[in-house]
């Protein structure tokens, strides 16, 4: 699967994207956060990449690209840390239901229809 990078800073208690993607996608995901947040996220069971003192989203995205190239990845996914996903209520319905952590735990993940 393609690795998922989620740049974040200051949202230690509120990782909306991490919670929304579900356990299957989390196996390929990592939060990209400053050194001072690594221990907190790790204790919460989140995989992290230490970006050190790099600040500014453009610089962080450049760090992610360089990290991915060094790891030999030719494709990556970069998601904001505050994304809310939705799923169809049923079939072809236009209505969407907000994906929540509880629903992902019972249905799977956003990547397989959560």
Predicted confidence (pLDDT) at residue 20 exceeds the cutoff of 90: no
Does the pLDDT of residue 110 top 70, yes or no?
no
Residue 92 lies in a domain: no
Whether residue 93 lies inside any domain: the answer is no
Span 42-99, pLDDT tens digits:
999 999 999 999 999 999 999 999 999 999 999 999 999 999 887 777 777 777 777 6
Number of domains in the chain: 1
Is 100 inside a domain boundary?
Answer: no
Domain hosting 23: range is: 4-84
Please report which helix (H) or strand (E) contains residue 31, including its range: strand 29-33
- Asked whether the whole model's pTM tops 0.85, one would answer no
111 assigned to some structural domain: no
Tell me, yes or no, whether 47 lies in a domain: yes
What number is the average pLDDT over the span 5-24?
A: 91
Residue 35 included in any domain: yes
The pLDDT of residue 101 is 57
DSSP 61: H
For residue 65, which of 54, 57, 76, 56 has the smallest C-alpha distance?
76
In a domain, 99, yes or no: no
**CA nearest to 114, candidates 33, 8, 23:** 23
In a domain, 16, yes or no: yes
Average pLDDT over residues 11-38: 92
pLDDT at residue 100 in the model:
62
Comparing 16-20, 95-99, 110-114, the range with the smallest average pLDDT is 110-114
């Amino acid at each position: 699967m393609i690795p998922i990078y989620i740049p974040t800073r200051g949202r230690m208690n509120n990782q909306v994207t991490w919670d929304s993607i579900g356990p299957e996608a989390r196996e390929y995901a990592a939060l990209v956060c400053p050194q001072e947040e690594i221990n907190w996220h790790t204790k919460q069971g989140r995989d992290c990449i230490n970006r050190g003192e790099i600040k500014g989203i453009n610089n962080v995205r450049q760090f992610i690209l360089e990290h991915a190239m060094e790891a030999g990845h030719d494709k990556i996914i970069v998601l904001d840390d505050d994304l809310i996903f939705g799923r169809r209520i049923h079939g072809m319905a236009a209505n969407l239901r907000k994906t929540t952590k509880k629903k992902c735990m019972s249905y799977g993940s956003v990547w397989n229809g959560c």
